[in-house]
Amino acid sequence: MNVTIIGCGYVGLVTGACLADIGNDVCCYDVDANRIATLEQGGMPIHEPGLREIVARNRGAGRLTFTTQVRAAIEHGDIVFIAVGTPSGEDGSADLQYVLAAAQEIGRYMARFTVVVDKSTVPVGTAERVRATIAEQLALRGSDALFSVVSNPEFLKEGAAIDDFTRPERIVLGCDDDALGERARELMKRLYAPFNRNHERTLHMDVRSAEFTKYAANAMLATRISFMNELANLAERVGADIDAVRRGIGSDSRIGYHFLYAGCGYGGSCFPKDVHALMRTAHENEQELRILQAVSAVNAAQKQVLARKIVARFGDDLNGRSFGVWGLAFKPETDDMREAPSRVLIATLLEHGARVAAYDPVALEEAKRAFAADLDSKPEALSRLTLVDDQMEAAKGADALVVLTEWKAFKSPDFAGLARVLKHPIVFDGRNLYEPLALAEAGIEYHSIGRPGAS
């Protein structure tokens, strides 16, 4: 099938590459000319395991092309995916300007029956706005080309995106209940058939429910994290071990083990913005989502939990102190720095006068950009942050090491070696990666989240 992808970010690129890999002819379009140039030259603008190989293979086979030519891109696709960003607007609602700009381009150039797929995470009712935008453009040029807008939200996880896309737990498909909607559903079923071979994973529903499902999923996941973080803070006060509690409740099949880890707060491009956008949708419909208000507030506080522990240990004035940081990306196997807890923690340490040396296996370039933007008005603070490309180098001479992302390479370090390079053998662990006993044996003072021995 001929497929067009609008937006070559984490979702668009993965979608395009995986659909090309099963034999479709995919054209990927982006307004970012640098991004397209990088892709055309065989480069990769994002870090996603396995993606580079799939893109190279399908470019080589001529099934995957990249362009900044919007007209050619739209004319190419029988199915056109909108996979552009939907960042938080000032009031917390999803900013739909990129989605609607894409819709406008589709209306401007589509020439035959087209299935328009909302792949971006968009609030309930967006498909109707996309439809109206396209219809307006078609009317302007007197075109009677037919189309149908489908909601097909994406559930991939950065860092495991290829696997999630090609072996999805479910494919949510929201189509209109009319003849065009039926035609669109059939085309989408054909497109996804190769992923449904072993068992049918597609959940068919109406468009609004599909749009809502994506927010409900992310809101539930964020809730589990904030729930565990709040209990972890209580566990510290009452002398319980949140990790033992996690195992204790996870064994209940109604609860399950997944997504129950206490830590230094959730980040990333999705949970924070989607929780806010859902709250905003509720507000606009005269309902307050009190649980999500708490989820969001608990998370904001949790991003400061390690800073609080550090200040409790070293005092409010961190002038002359230095800290090593392992992990900058919001989670392992990605270079994504959006809403990463590291941004909050490092900014707070710098604010208190500390020096920081930080290391991440793949996010250093993104981190450089993120901190330059965050600390734009504080050049002196920024000058006290060094990004280093060696794990042990970050810890060398530091008053303490702070672990913020659960990269594999951080899981089993040489504790004795670590104790030697640190000025003070102290570790603050925002991901509960280590066995307290192993660190005690290496003579390291250990602070983690919600576990005994934590400060």
- C-alpha to C-alpha distance for 313 and 455, rounded to whole angstroms: 8
Closest CA to 405 of 347, 440, 368, 361: 361
Stretch of residues binding ligand NAD (CB under 6 A), selected from 97-105, 236-244, 251-259, 276-284: 97-105
Q: Is 101 in the site for ligand NAD (CB under 6 A)?
A: yes
Establish whether 158 is an annotated binding residue: yes
Residue from 65, 93, 114, 120 that binds ligand NAD (CB under 6 A)? 120
Q: How far is the CB of 281 from ligand NAD (least distance, A)?
A: 14
Helix-strand-coil split of the chain, %, nearest 5: 45, 15, 40
Which listed residue (27, 28, 264, 270) is catalytic?
270
Residue 115: φ, ψ to 5°: -95, 120
Closest CA to 302 of 228, 218, 203, 195: 228
- Our CB check for ligand NAD shows the closer of 241 and 335 to be 335
Q: How many helices (H) and strands (E) does the chain have?
A: 19, 14
Stretch of residues binding ligand NAD (CB under 6 A), selected from 28-36, 55-63, 185-193, 395-403: 28-36
Residue from 58, 86, 213, 302 that binds ligand NAD (CB under 6 A)? 86
Q: 24: which 2 tokens?
A: 């479709």
Residue from 83, 173, 242, 367 that binds ligand NAD (CB under 6 A)? 83
Residue 441 CB coordination number (10 Å): 11
Assign residue 142 a region: left if phi > 0, alpha if psi is -120 to 50, beta otherwise?
left
Q: Is 158 in the site for ligand NAD (CB under 6 A)?
A: yes
Stretch of residues binding ligand NAD (CB under 6 A), selected from 30-38, 51-59, 245-253, 426-434: 30-38
Nearest residue to ligand NAD, scored by beta-carbon proximity? 9
Known active-site residue 270: yes
Query: Helix, strand or coil for residue 171?
Result: strand
Q: How far is the CB of 13 from ligand NAD (least distance, A)?
A: 7
- C-alpha to C-alpha distance for 73 and 27, rounded to whole angstroms: 6
Q: How far is the CB of 10 from ligand NAD (least distance, A)?
A: 4
Residue 182 CB coordination number (10 Å): 13
Stretch of residues binding ligand NAD (CB under 6 A), selected from 6-14, 342-350, 372-380, 427-435: 6-14
- Our CB check for ligand NAD shows the closer of 14 and 442 to be 14
Q: Show the beta-strand stretches assigned E in 11-103.
A: 25-29, 64-67, 79-82
Q: Tell me, by CB under 6 A, how many residues bind ligand NAD.
A: 26
Residue from 3, 4, 5, 12 that binds ligand NAD (CB under 6 A)? 12
Q: How far is the CB of 114 from ligand NAD (least distance, A)?
A: 16
Where b means 16+ CB within 10 Å and e means fewer, 423-432 reads eebbbbbbbb
Q: How far is the CB of 4 from ligand NAD (least distance, A)?
A: 10
Contacts with ligand NAD by CB under 6 A lie at 6-12, 29-32, 35, 83-86, 98, 101-102, 120-121, 154, 156, 158, 269-270
